[in-house]
């Protein structure tokens, strides 16, 4: 950890397995923004959940899984967006709700999941 901010809390991009993975958890230099504890990546089927942080809202809720496709964020269709744009939509003020429309990889039906954005305080 540098300056009290863990690497999982910084918005970063990196290449893993040949895909761009973007962290929608925290924006460096913007302490007023936080996310739901997931990273997203662009895959053939669309924007998918690439990882779930152990202490984030997504992990606590148990409603999302790695590989789920993010179809919409707050009713904004993600089919034509980049992973970075979707990660930006996931960010907001601590304590605010975000509405996700997600589906399992390969499924045709989607479900709505509400998450509260929060910042870890450690």
Confidence of residue 119 (pLDDT cuts 50, 70, 90): confident
| Residue 6 confidence (pLDDT) | 36
Single pTM value for the model: 0.75
CB 23 within 8 A of CB 87: yes
User: pLDDT tens digits for 27-71?
Assistant: 445 567 899 999 999 999 999 999 999 989 999 999 999 999 999
User: pLDDT tens digits for 15-39?
Assistant: 333 345 555 544 445 567 899 999 9
Concatenated DSSP letters for 15-74?
EETTEEEEE-SEETTEEEEE--SEEEEEETTEEEEEEE-TTSHHHHH----TT-EEEEET
């Amino acid at each position: 950890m540098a300056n009290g901010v863990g690497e999982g809390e910084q918005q970063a991009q990196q290449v893993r397995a040949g895909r761009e993975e973007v962290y929608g958890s925290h924006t460096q230099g913007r302490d007023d923004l936080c996310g739901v504890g997931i990273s997203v990546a662009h895959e053939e089927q669309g924007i998918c959940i690439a990882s779930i942080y152990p202490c984030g809202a997504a992990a606590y809720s148990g409603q999302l899984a790695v590989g789920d496709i993010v179809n919409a964020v707050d009713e904004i269709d993600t089919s034509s967006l980049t992973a970075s744009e979707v990660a930006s939509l996931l960010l907001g003020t601590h304590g605010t709700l975000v509405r996700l429309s997600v589906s399992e990889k390969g499924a045709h039906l989607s479900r709505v999941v509400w998450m509260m954005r929060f910042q870890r305080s450690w």
